[in-house]
Amino acid sequence: MSISANIAAARSRIAAACAQAGRDPGEVELLAVSKTHPAAAIREARAAGCCRFGESRPQELRDKAVELAGADVDWVAIGHLQTNKAKLVAERAQEFQALDSLALAEALDRRLQTLGRRLAVLVQVNSSGEAAKGGFAPDAVADAVAQLAHCDALDVRGLMTLAVHSDDEAAVRACFATMTDLQARLRDAHGGGFDTLSMGMSGDFELAIACGSTCVRLGTLLFGARPPAPVGP
């Protein structure tokens, strides 16, 4: 199938999952994860109606932003970001979905203020408790959000997580339930906001929608198997 056909099929599945959950499909964004895929694939996805693309390597995001300048796309940084690469995201991204430390927040804030830009960010939560995954522990999120208040160039829009990779639906659902509980508590504490809940990928996005996700991150389902990542700095 073509990329455009894959996108249409994914949208149909999102709509069906929303219908089953009693939700409006307009509440759920399809974020096309284009990491390692070429500019031509992004152009095809753009023609099929996708306008926001997720990239995990800052250098790749920068290079694609340059190559696709004028293509009317927004770039979303979705992977772990080292503080010494903050400048690339601050310069090019419209959103950062993997804010996992206060040191990184401060590095981004400094870069953004120098550039005169603001950046939408999602706080990454380690909902599964796995040591290999990044993000704040659920019980540390409220304090982290409070400390982010002094980062004037960061616009905290909500939360992101990677659920446990498991065939045990109950274990995956527990990760998502942790996120919806955190979202509700933050809204209560701050009088609203935190509207974005980015959770769900190609293998679990329908369950994520049932649990309240507002953004599903789909890559392989749209673009097929990833080619090898480019070699370079």
CATH homologous superfamily of 3-223: Alanine racemase (3.20.20.10)
Q: Where are the domains of the chain?
A: 3-223
Give me 208's structure tokens: 């994520």
For the purposes of burial, counting CB atoms within 10 Å of the CB of 52, is it exposed (0-12), middle (13-18) or buried (19 or more)?
middle
Regions of the chain with pLDDT less than 50: 233
pLDDT number for residue 228: 62
Predicted confidence at residue 88, as pLDDT, reads 97
Q: What is the pLDDT of residue 225?
A: 84
pLDDT digits (tens, 9 = 90+) for 164-211: 999 999 999 999 999 999 999 999 999 999 999 999 999 999 999 999
User: And the tokens for 37?
Assistant: 């895929």
pTM of the predicted model as reported, rounded to 2 decimal places: 0.94
Residue 93 sits at φ, ψ, to 5 deg, of -85, 150
